[in-house]
Amino acid sequence: MRFKLTPQNTSFYGQFATLATHIRDAAHLLQATVEGPPGEWESAARRLKELEHQGDEATHAILSAVNSSFITPFDRDDIYRLAARLDDCLDHIEASVEIMVLYRVGELPAAVAEQARVLTQMADLTLEAMPGLEKMHNLREFWIAVNSLENDADRNYRQMIAALFDGDRDAVDIIKFKELFDELEAAADSFETVANTVESIAAKES
């Protein structure tokens, strides 16, 4: 119901794409890390920390642009919310590798690489969806695809947890792996929240 004057400030789309690019890079690095040797976890954690900072800067740039713009391409609060939710994805990906390092997590079960692959797909879809915000195009497909991937992540998570308590694993190992599985699950949830936020924006604007 807001007035739409032309020319609109279109740089928001570019800023969202920048943020989503950092997320995509982080997800791919997570996948490479959990598939690679433990000796490279620490350098990956450092690189992810940098990506997290770049993500914070991209988020901050979006918020500054919102505050200094008289007209925004969609609802001001929705821009805030979407930027914050995208930033959450990056934070959870970064935190996953940090847990592996800090907790001295042992050999990863194969399901962790599976989970990382789901996150990579979610991150790729999220980056691809960003240009759609401009014309409110193909956003429903994005939402459906991410929700379907989140169901995969959820099934995978529950199998990992069940396996952890099935047998007589050491309690300290359970603590470590549960922390990692929970963080990966939080990452998958945060992509779903991004997709839901995008869908609610699309619903309002349509």
Asked if residue 61 binds a copy of itself (CB under 8 A), the reply is no
Please identify which residue in 8, 9, 17, 63 interacts with a copy of itself, judged by CB under 8 A.
63
Within 131-190, which residues bind a copy of itself (CB under 8 A)? 158, 161-162, 165-166, 169-172, 174-176, 178
Asked if residue 67 binds a copy of itself (CB under 8 A), the reply is yes
Question: 130 exposed, middle or buried (CB, 10 Å; 0-12, 13-18, 19+)?
Answer: buried
Please identify which residue in 13, 18, 54, 103 interacts with a copy of itself, judged by CB under 8 A.
103
Distance CA 137, CA 125 (A): 13
Please identify which residue in 32, 102, 110, 144 interacts with a copy of itself, judged by CB under 8 A.
102
Report, in Å, the least distance between residue 124 CB and a copy of itself. 25
Report, in Å, the least distance between residue 157 CB and a copy of itself. 9
Residues that bind a copy of itself (CB under 8 A): 63-64, 67, 77, 80, 98, 102-104, 158, 161-162, 165-166, 169-172, 174-176, 178, 200, 203-204, 206
